[in-house]
Amino acid sequence: MSVFLSRLAAGACAAALFFSPANAETAPASASTALLAQAAQKARDFADYRYAYTVEHLTRTGEKEVAITLRFDPRLEGDARWQVLSPAEDALDKPQAKALKQLRKGEMEDSPILYDSLDEMIDDVELASENETEAVYVAQLDDDDAPKDALEVFITLNKPDAYISSIELKSKKPFKPAPVAKVMKLVQTQRFAAPEGNGPALIVSSEAHIEGEAMFKSFSTDTRQIFSEIEQVEVPAEESDEG
């Protein structure tokens, strides 16, 4: 699978993507659009900080299931940033150890906690639907790593509390992330909790379903991540990127 899809399955990249509209309504600027911009700006205001958190990670492929609970802390260095809470690290089986290795080598870290990068595409969103409590927008993809015209994302704005409650990525058609792989279906949903006080909205969960073919074999993978105990670390991101 490509780096692009690996990030999606890890729940790491939805906040940084720009996606293509499908059957969206063309609408002038509205109060809801202003709230959307406000929500994105609020996340951006907190983007220079790092976040520690606990994540329950579950991956299911066919009859195989891997479950592991981890604590990420950017104040630590190297592999120590990912601490295994359950089961004990010395008791991990091979699939669990492989999942831990992939997380430690990957780019997830604390990037999924906020949706701060959404502010970069607010001017290009289109309104798909709206009611008294929610507005759903579709945005356009502008990413060289992404398959062209194959994906769309729906951004749901909670109007009463002025925050983005979910970001859902869906494939519109099959696509090939690599010459030997073909994705038939992809759905990823990230959900966020309402802000507390003057703070930002923080991620609650990320779920992904991918099915397709790789190396002439069919696959179907479900990933679920539940986030808790999120702690803002009072160190600017640019000063804590070492390790």
pLDDT at 21 over 50: no
How far is Cα 168 from Cα 190, in angstroms, rounded to an integer? 6
The reported pLDDT for the residue numbered 17 is: 28
Global pTM value: 0.80
Give the span between the Cα atoms of 109 and 10, in whole angstroms.
10
Residue 234, classed as helix, strand or coil, is strand
Give the pLDDT confidence of 166-215 residue by residue, as tens digits: 999 888 889 888 888 899 999 999 999 999 988 999 999 999 999 999 88
Tokens representing residue 101 in the block:
């290795």
CA neighbours closer than 13 Å in the CB half-sphere of residue 179: 0
Domain ranges of the chain: 3-239
Q: What is the mean pLDDT of residues 12-33?
A: 43
Judged by DSSP in three states, 116 sits in: helix
What tens digit of pLDDT does each residue of 54-86 get?
Answer: 999 999 988 889 999 999 998 888 888 899 999
Which residues have a Cβ under 8 Å from the Cβ of 193 and sit 6 or more positions away? 201, 202, 203, 204
**What is the rounded distance in angstroms from the CA atom of residue 137 to the CA atom of residue 32?**
10
Torsion angles phi and psi, residue 88, rounded to 5: -60, 145
